Amino acid sequence: QETGNEEVRFMQLDLASLRSVRAFASAFLRQEPHLHLLINNAGVSAGGTTEDGFSLPFQVNHLGHFLLTQLLLERLQSCAPSRVVIVASRAHCAGRLHLDTLGHPPPGLLSTFQDYCDSKLANVLHARELATRLQGTQVTCYAVHPGFVNTELFRHMPLWLKPLFLPLAWLFFLDASEGAQTSLHCATHQGLERFSGRYFADCRLQEPWPVARDDRLARALWEASERLVGLGGAGGSPSP
């Protein structure tokens, strides 16, 4: 109603529930014959545990998007050329992935913040490995740092911190439309195909933190993510 575009459709999807992700993908594939662009944009910074037993930020920010992308990948390939844009963050530079405890909150006083950073590192590595596996398919993918954007991402921060943080957000952070520009650039700009798997910020190609360029870690994360979401190497997972 707000857009005035009758072709905009709402479909329920809860990334904190792998069951919901599967139900959404099944409904979408039944109803929509075409898919040329997937933007994995949702994110949370709150603590907690999902119904699947994973930490909330890691499942919503990475595992849910990973499963969704895999379930829609065949449709993206059949409609190629197509693109996947994964909204990451510069916070990936503080990420540390421990594959033996993947999906569980890290220890320490800053557990929720570390969990968020870990999920953003997973986003960058996901795009990198997905590009490797999709070479030659005309499906390309990009990881994006949208900037520091004043959205509801921070609504779950501790009450004592909000009086300190929120005025800074209003003064210095981007609004939502400004924060969408790099995602839109990677979704629509011509000639980006040769940069598939790379990291963008401020609508420009940039180098992520060194650990986010580790191909062995990217592959290991992919395989671990498959196991955690119940794909186990099947379910439309492309091979290198």
The enclosing domain of 52 has a CATH number of 3.40.50.720
150, pLDDT greater than 70: no
Which run of H or of E encompasses 64?
A: helix 64-78
For residue 144, being part of any structural domain is answered with yes
For residue 82, being part of any structural domain is answered with yes
Half-sphere exposure of 29 (CA within 13 A, CB side): 16
Which run of H or of E encompasses 178?
A: helix 176-179
pLDDT greater at residue 153 or residue 95: 95
pLDDT (tens digit, 9 = 90+) per residue, 45-90? 888 999 999 999 999 999 999 999 999 999 999 999 999 999 999 9
For residue 237, being part of any structural domain is answered with no
For residue 16, being part of any structural domain is answered with no
Work out how many domains the chain is built from and give that number. 1
For 147: left if phi > 0, alpha if psi spans -120 to 50, otherwise beta; the answer is left
The residues that are catalytic are: 116
pLDDT greater at residue 235 or residue 105: 105
pLDDT, residue 153, reads 55
pLDDT, residue 2, reads 84
For residue 115, being part of any structural domain is answered with yes
Q: Please report which confidence band the pLDDT of residue 126 belongs to, taking 50, 70 and 90 as the band edges.
A: very high
Residue 66 tokens, joined: 């990973």
Half-sphere exposure of 196 (CA within 13 A, CB side): 19
pLDDT, residue 7, reads 87
Residues with Cβ within 8 Å of 48's Cβ and at least 6 positions away in sequence, in order, are: 55, 56
pLDDT (tens digit, 9 = 90+) per residue, 13-36? 999 999 999 999 999 999 999 999
3-class secondary-structure state, position 59 = helix
CB of 124 within 8 A of CB of 92?
A: yes
pLDDT, residue 233, reads 54
Backbone angles phi, psi at 199, to 5 degrees: -115, 130
CB of 54 within 8 A of CB of 63?
A: yes
For residue 7, being part of any structural domain is answered with no
- What range does the domain containing 49 cover? 35-229
pLDDT (tens digit, 9 = 90+) per residue, 181-231? 899 999 999 999 999 999 999 999 999 999 999 999 999 999 999 999 999
pLDDT, residue 172, reads 47
